[in-house]
A = this chain, B = another copy of it.
Amino acid sequence: LRNGTAKVAILGASGYTGRELLHLLARHPAARAEVVMTSREGSVPEPPELPSDPVVDSLDLRRLDGIDVAFLCAPHGASARLARQVLDAGTRVIDLSADFRLRDARLYAETYGEAHPARELLGRAVYGLTEHAREHLEGARLVANPGCYPTSILLPLLPLLQHGLVDEGATVIADSKSGVSGAGKALTERTHFGNVHDNFLAYKVGDHRHLPEIQQQAGTDRIVFVPHLLPVFRGILSTLYVPPARGTTAAQARACLEEVYAAEPFVRVYGTGLPELRAVVGTNFCDIGVAAAGDRIVVISAIDNLVKGASGQAVQNMNVMLGLEETAGLR
């Protein structure tokens, strides 16, 4: 990095994810958003401290000269096409869309209803669940930033699977609850105040697009995932019902998680008690608690879907990619 400061671009800055990135980078001691582009003018006036001018519809690649990494916050499909351009221009990419999360183009087509627009890049993408991808991130040129639900489910689940603490013949249940910001700024019936406030509901039971992503990373299909919509703006709390491998106790599961994440700056495994949403809102933490219930181990995780579940993890990935302090801009 020249002068020790990373120069970054945000392509698609008008949504919640892009806005959160702008906030985080504004506080980052070693990175600077040099190029900020949105595809449409947001109609809600931004608070004065946010930039409102740089509205650009088509990317002028010359603007990426000297940029160290570009964050893509475009819709899926569009994002992959943009990624190809940016990579061709020699700039590294952290893609916050779903376009590079699935390794299998056929599964992508089934899940997203269209052929993958940049299949040749699928093999090059690193799945950026930072704590489990660090060694691959350092040289990566294309990082697929994980989905919010997958982040909340994989962080507590992967160590248990990898250490053989899960009964492979049984099914893991992931019952997740998310705030409304996960649905974005679009004006839909689903996000109208009258339909969210004082309400609660499950949606896309059995066919949410994050399920293939979770199953791919977990390496098993024996996961059932049901997302729900909470009447809050930010945060995801996932309740996992884990069938233990023979003889495994909740205490052993907790010990495993504590060991795996002992040195992690952004994963907090609780010795006692269980995480609440408000403990993580506005932070890049993933908090994890463990309890026993009947013949299941109940593992509860909480993240801020816009931070650890999106823009915070993207910055964390950037920090690792560029050799910066991993926690820079995230405390």
Distance to closest chain B CB from A4 (angstroms): 18
Contacts of A221 in B (CB 8 A): 294
Which residues 117-171 of A sit at the B interface, judged by CB distance below 8 A?
170-171
Tell me whether A187 and B187 are in contact in the complex, defined as CB-CB below 8 angstroms, given that A268-B48, A298-B226 are known contacts: yes
**Given the complex of chains A and B, what is the CA–CA distance between A153 and B239 in angstroms?**
18
**Given the complex of chains A and B, what is the CA–CA distance between A226 and B281 in angstroms?**
22
User: Is A106 close to B, CB under 8 A?
Assistant: no
Contacts of A65 in B (CB 8 A): none
User: Is A209 close to B, CB under 8 A?
Assistant: no
Q: How many copies does the complex hold?
A: 4
Partner of A277, one of B199, B224, B226, B274: B199
Contacts of A193 in B (CB 8 A): 180, 191-193, 196-197, 231, 233
User: Is A110 close to B, CB under 8 A?
Assistant: no
B-binding segment of A67-75, A92-100, A200-208, A312-320: A200-208
Asked whether A293 lies within 8 Å of B200 as measured between CB atoms, the reply is: no
Tell me whether A274 and B206 are in contact in the complex, defined as CB-CB below 8 angstroms, given that A185-B194, A194-B185 are known contacts: no
User: Is A291 close to B, CB under 8 A?
Assistant: yes
Distance to closest chain B CB from A79 (angstroms): 22
Distance to closest chain B CB from A191 (angstroms): 5
**Given the complex of chains A and B, what is the CA–CA distance between A57 and B274 in angstroms?**
29
Q: What are the nearest 8 A-B pairs in CB distance?
A: A206-B293, A201-B276, A187-B187, A205-B291, A224-B294, A175-B175, A47-B279, A193-B196
